Amino acid sequence: MKGFSAPLSPDGGAAAYGPPPWNFAGRSFTILAECDPAAIAALVPDGLAPEGAPVVRFSIHDLICDLGFGWEFAQRYPERCQFKEAVIGLAVSDGQSFGFWDPFLWCDGEAEIAVGRELYGWPQREARLDMTMPHPQKGWQPGDRVTGKVTRWHEPALVMEMTIEREGDIDVPQPAFVTFYTERVIPDPRDASVVRELFASNMENSNPADFFTGTASLTLMAPELKPLTPTRIIGGRVNTISWTKNRSRLVRRLETKG
């Protein structure tokens, strides 16, 4: 039986996902907001510390990914390789690098959820994700309305809205779309012990482009998100982006006995 991931099969073709590198491309809608520093700190795990101003990134992405099988695979199998993802990012440091820790993340793609939880430790949860797309011929225009919604367990979790005002990015200090921290949690069925492994992953060839910004609003409905209710919304942006996710660096490893 063969395969980089389950399910295994005689030829390995049933695997949910392949090995890194994974290549991504798509569109993003992001709102940047100032939030309570204490609420941010409460969501950061041991080994990391909040860094810089208390600015939180709320994003929804509409993506194509080759799942580690190559770009031709992504073109042949859109039903497997196209999905949406929503993420809340906190600016943190491990003393060596400056990047994002994402305490909450939702996705509607089976392979992305599986690899996130099994390999890297992204806290992927299944949800319905909806995001406004630009006009297919005109693209984004000033005055256009952009809406992003996350629905989980048939209830709204968050709603993002923006009115596009101009071309260009938001001038706010934030980590580059390069280093992301994740924590893989591995429970042991023998004794209920848990291994927690904190990784740093660098996104290679990160290429955000085609920025438009504007006035934004954000509504958080899920109870676990309420502490991050913004004290001030800085603004919103839409953009295209591509990147490659490769291997990771182990930051620390903890084991808790059951």
pLDDT of residue 177: 81
Please state the pTM of the whole predicted model. Answer: 0.95
Rounded CA-CA distance 210/218 in Å is 22
- The per-residue pLDDT for 178 is 86
Q: Which residues, 6+ apart, have CB-to-CB distance to 37 below 8 Å?
A: 50, 54
CB 24 within 8 A of CB 245: yes
What per-residue confidence (pLDDT) applies to 88?
98
pLDDT of residue 26: 98
Measuring CA to CA, which residue among 178, 182, 31 is closest to residue 101? Answer: 182
Digit-by-digit pLDDT tens for the chain (258 residues) are 999 999 999 998 899 999 999 999 999 999 999 999 999 999 999 999 999 999 999 999 999 999 999 999 999 999 999 999 999 999 999 998 899 999 999 999 999 999 999 999 999 999 999 999 999 999 999 999 999 999 999 999 999 999 999 999 998 877 778 899 999 999 999 999 999 999 999 999 999 999 999 999 999 999 999 999 999 999 999 999 999 999 999 999 999 887
- Residue 25 pLDDT: 98
pLDDT at residue 175, rounded to an integer: 75
CATH topology of domain 22-256: Acetoacetate decarboxylase-like (2.40.400)
* H helix runs in the chain, sequence order: 37-42, 71-76, 78-81, 110-115
**118 closest CA partner among 234, 255, 225, 15:** 15
Q: Which residues contact 218 (CB under 8 A, 6 or more apart)?
A: 31, 33, 58, 158, 159, 160, 161, 230, 233
Q: Residue 258 has what pLDDT? A: 76
Q: How far is CA 119 from CA 16, 110, 199, in A?
A: 12, 14, 10
Residue 99's closest CA among 203, 236, 228, 231? 203
